[in-house]
Amino acid sequence: MHRALNELRGVDLEEVEEKRSHAVRYGLRYGRALLLTTFLGLIVSALVVEKAVIAFLSQWGAGRGPIVALDLALTVTLAFALFFVLFRVLPEDRISSCEAAVSALSSTVLFAAGSSLVTHYLRHKNLGDVYAGAGALVVAVLWVYYSAQVFFFGGCIGAAMATRRGQRGPGTPDGHRPA
């Protein structure tokens, strides 16, 4: 993902790596990986706590509508936060918060729409079907493919915003817009 986002933004990795010492490259690479892994762990932990709270509230007879709305809002917020951090931290280029937010918002909306479609399909699937296992495998593969496309679509939006503003982008190796 790191390399693909850099390619979308027109960043020459060889040029960037030549300017840094081996220790700095090592520290940035593994520091970034540690940061993203820690953040992902926090997001997953927050999702587990959120699902436990939702289950607790539903046991105590709270209205189904508010619980579903709360669940949706928290899940979408956490997905947005994850996409925002990925779009902000992964590329070597300078990413503005606005670019990262717009990219994350577009990815989050598409991700939530796809998630609701998959959830709807799985809820209404006939579990007694002979091909239930194969169907679930196909849905899982399609979901992974769709999620990757949604992520890179958000990256393309951020790269297009950077190119439009005259920052580095495809076709502008020196970081300036062609005259």
Question: Average pLDDT, stretch 93-98?
Answer: 84
- Residue written as tokens 């690479």? 29
Dump pLDDT digits (tens) for 157-166: 988 888 888 7
Q: Where are the domains of the chain?
A: 2-164
Q: What percent of the chain has pLDDT over 90?
A: 22
- Give the helix ranges, DSSP H, for the chain: 2-8, 13-18, 22-59, 64-89, 97-123, 132-164
User: Quick one: which of 108, 118, 124 has its CA closest to 140?
Assistant: 118
- Rounded to whole angstroms, what are the CA distances from 114 to 10, 14, 121, 139? 29, 36, 11, 11
pTM given for the model: 0.73
* Residue 109 pLDDT exceeds 90: yes
**In angstroms, rounded to a whole number, what is the distance separating the alpha carbons of residues 47 and 91?**
26
- Residue written as tokens 């990413």? 95
- End-to-end CA, the chain: 31
SS3 category, 92: coil
